[in-house]
A and B are shown apart, each in its own frame.
Chain A
């Protein structure tokens, strides 16, 4: 017998690969979910990762950085927040 596979429709779920934690530290929603202002996850609501390795929804972090009290610090470790370069 010979089995020929004509078409294989596979199903997968996508995940962010370098998040250490499950939830965004600011909005407490899973990374694979969306920040409170977005409707669609993934491309529309990307992550941002700092040099300190802390990850957030990008929209959440940008909003945090615009507030007075943030002083440009990472909300988790209070170091200066800089986007990881790799």
Chain B
């Protein structure tokens, strides 16, 4: 039955066979004649009707003859066939005439101009409307009976095939392009609108009217689905672009960002919604869906920008604001964590970054993420990698302690924020010790599902606490604090220690009184020294047999067991000073019976004035530098060996002291004889000098040196072990030590400390390190 029937076959008389195909079975001889007659009539009717139906330029209503022929065809059950024929006819006609008509020869030209794009779209749609009206025309006469099931079915069938043709026409690439551009253009003008709302009111009305026209055509063609798809596609592309354009680095834009979400909502519920619902069918959730998509874009933007948000914190608060509102799903949270961690790895946690920068970044991270999510689950996740990295940095402790004590050190950078935080935090800290095991808390909620298994709700945004918990015990900090404080106290020149006392009190709150006992003694030593010093210089106390001490000499008297170990390698001071120091200790022994002083001659500070022929210079220097320049009063040149001998210093220290004076244009190296230095009585224009760097040297042993010193008690064990077994890797040594050393001595060093110590031993040539194993050097 589905053999194609086409006009050409019919016109050639072959129709006869085809028409009677269904009747073949009734090939009764009696009926044959009758059939031949009626067949002839049928062929005539068929030709009449199809000639009228053929698509043509002018439409005219069917004459009575056509209608009568149709009635006869209907009696013969040929209407189905007629429809099939007509559908085919329409198809060929559309392919031949319709499709070329909607092709626009000037596509590139049109695409460059938005107005002509709009018109282009409209023209295509209009052509299709025309065509469909034309093609529907005969159907509306022939298949008109609503009560007849066949007629209704036929109409639907024709409509379907017509829709299929239109659909094919619209899926044309060029039309798609134009439609996309049109919709995009309208959305974009909605986006622009909020800038100058008043001016654009009229423009919007125009645009909406235009869209309404298109909508009419679309409804007529019944291609709303296609249009909806186009709108959706465009919106999905448009929104991310709009968001990232408008909200990127929002803190850098000079506009009020406060009502950001409101603005976005207004835009979507206002112009964009109007524009879209002018174009497609809408339901009650349209705006909600559009808005959801926009917030999704915002979250993506925020996730990408999180690293910068932290860097620019607190300026970047507005960005945090929107991220906080939109960040709801687990998926986004996970993305945020991953993206942030990756950014950290790429941009921060490498050896090019200063430790102080990492620490201040960490502090910003804590603050920003606490704002984002007060519970701290995200913070806990993102800070893990930062914390792990900080633990591995050698100078982390030093940076933190310097920051807390507000020490200015060019090597560690500025973290004075920490000391401010310390001052403000200590007043509140004790109050807010939230306990997780408060069983009577009726507002308790479980941790979010993405919390790590070992997640603990840490102190609220207290980053000193977070920094201190970097390490398992606070001991490392205490050690470092003792060293830093000792250096600070020794650098003082007039016993003024108010600031140090204040810092110390704050630190005690953090670390507890007992751990900082040494620091207490150190501070008290300085206070006591001030008292004793005043007493020694008091002229009324001069006892018989002693001489008064010159006013220039002052001293700090320290309780040596409570201070870090000192570096003091001896030094020959100017005779005048040596004499004064002897008098000083004599007076001390009278003041404090049964006690004597031992001088640490390298430590302390000296204010000197150099009077040269053409200039006078003031310096505050270390004793070795002062002693060295003092020697040049006797004669203007010395060799390095002479200086070494006179000062009884080693070569490195001597050169460093000389370097200081060369840098300050007081000495210069003799050009004719190296290692010989000349005093510059008159300043010279000197050429560029290459010098040792003048790093301020700590006067006390650092924590690492101390640790190594303390490790030496284990040397005999290691020595014995390596005598029995010639070569051992480090982890074997570690486990042996843990096993062998008796409880009274105790061994609690970790692998890193052991490695440091063994490295020192290798440097001292007691050990050899060969292919991963340590062995005794023979």
Contacts and interface: CB of A to CB of B under 8 A. Distances in A.
Interface of A: 1-18, 30, 32-33, 39-43, 47, 49
Contacts of A5: 552, 574, 576-577, 606-608, 626, 630
Contact of A7 (B524, B597, B607): B607
B493 A7 contact: yes
Given A10-B604, A11-B556, A40-B524, A2 B633 contact: yes
Contact of A3 (B552, B554, B610): B610
Of A10, A18, A40, most buried by chain B (CB within 10 Å of CB) is: A10
A36 B517 CA distance: 13
A14 B596 contact: yes
B679 interface: yes
B469 interface: no
Contact of A8 (B554, B597, B600, B609): B554
A26 B679 CA distance: 58
Given A1-B611, A16-B594, A32-B560, A10 B626 contact: no
Given A5-B608, A6-B552, A8-B607, 18 more contacts: A3-B609, A3-B632, A7-B552, A9-B493, A10-B581, A10-B600, A10-B623, A11-B604, A12-B598, A13-B563, A13-B598, A13-B600, A14-B559, A14-B598, A39-B521, A40-B521, A41-B559, A49-B594
Contact of B517 (A12, A13, A16, A39): A39
Nearest to B632: A1
A74 to B, nearest CB: 18
Contacts of B596: 14-15, 17
- Minimum-distance CB pairs A-B, first 10: A11-B603, A13-B560, A6-B607, A12-B597, A2-B611, A7-B607, A4-B609, A9-B604, A10-B555, A17-B596
Contacts of B777: none
A9 B588 contact: no
B612 to A, nearest CB: 5
Contact of A30 (B493, B520, B561): B561
Interface string B629-642: 11011001000000
Of A6, A8, A30, A43, most buried by chain B (CB within 10 Å of CB) is: A8
A8 B577 contact: yes
B528 interface: yes
29 contacts: A1-B632, A1-B679, A2-B611, A2-B633, A3-B629, A3-B630, A6-B609, A8-B626, A9-B492, A9-B493, A9-B604, A9-B606, A10-B555, A10-B603, A11-B555, A11-B558, A11-B604, A12-B557, A13-B563, A13-B598, A14-B596, A15-B598, A16-B594, A18-B594, A39-B521, A42-B559, A42-B592, A42-B595, A49-B594
Contacts of B38: none
B754 interface: no
A12 B679 contact: no
A10 B520 contact: no
Q: Taking chain B's interface residues, is the majority helix, strand, or loop, or is none over half, making it mixed? A: mixed
Interface in B531-576: 552-563, 566, 574, 576
Contacts, number: 147
A12 B601 CA distance: 8
A40 B596 CA distance: 18
Interface in B491-528: 492-493, 517, 520-521, 524, 528
Contacts of B158: none
A9 B556 contact: yes
Contacts of B600: 10-13
B340 to A, nearest CB: 48
Of B493, B595, B598, B623, most buried by chain A (CB within 10 Å of CB) is: B595
Contact of A14 (B581, B588, B607): B588
B610 A1 contact: yes
A9 B555 contact: yes
Nearest to A42: B559
Contacts of A16: 594-595
Nearest to A44: B524
B660 interface: no
B490 interface: yes
B631 to A, nearest CB: 9
Contacts of A3: 608-611, 626, 629-630, 632-633
B585 interface: yes
Nearest to A30: B561
Contacts of B607: 5-8
Given A1-B610, A6-B607, A39-B520, A14 B595 contact: yes
A11 B520 contact: no
Contacts of B609: 3-4, 6
A62 to B, nearest CB: 17
A32 B559 contact: yes
A41 B588 CA distance: 16
Contacts of A41: 521, 559, 561-562
Nearest to A6: B607
B3 to A, nearest CB: 115
A12 B558 contact: yes
Contacts of B717: none
B599 interface: yes
A25 to B, nearest CB: 17
A20 to B, nearest CB: 13
Given A6-B608, A6-B609, A14 B555 contact: no
A58 to B, nearest CB: 11
B611 A13 contact: no
A6 B584 CA distance: 17
Nearest to B699: A11
B709 interface: no
Interface in B601-630: 601, 603-613, 623, 626, 629-630
Given A5-B608, A42-B559, A17 B595 contact: yes
B681 interface: yes
Contacts of B623: 8, 10
Given A1-B611, A32-B560, A41-B562, A13 B577 contact: no
A17 B589 contact: yes
Contacts of B574: 5
Contacts of A49: 594
A32 B561 contact: yes
B633 A9 contact: no
B633 A10 contact: no
Nearest to A7: B607
B599 A12 contact: yes
B556 A1 contact: no
Contact of A1 (B599, B605, B612): B612
Contacts of A12: 555-558, 585, 597-600
A21 B315 CA distance: 64
B643 to A, nearest CB: 15
A66 to B, nearest CB: 24
Contacts of A18: 594
A47 B592 CA distance: 12
A32 B561 CA distance: 7
Of A33, A47, A49, most buried by chain B (CB within 10 Å of CB) is: A33
A31 B113 CA distance: 97
A33 B560 CA distance: 9
A4 to B, nearest CB: 4
A41 to B, nearest CB: 5
A43 B592 contact: yes
Given A8-B577, A43-B592, A13 B606 contact: no
Contacts of A13: 557-560, 563, 566, 597-598, 600
A39 B513 CA distance: 12
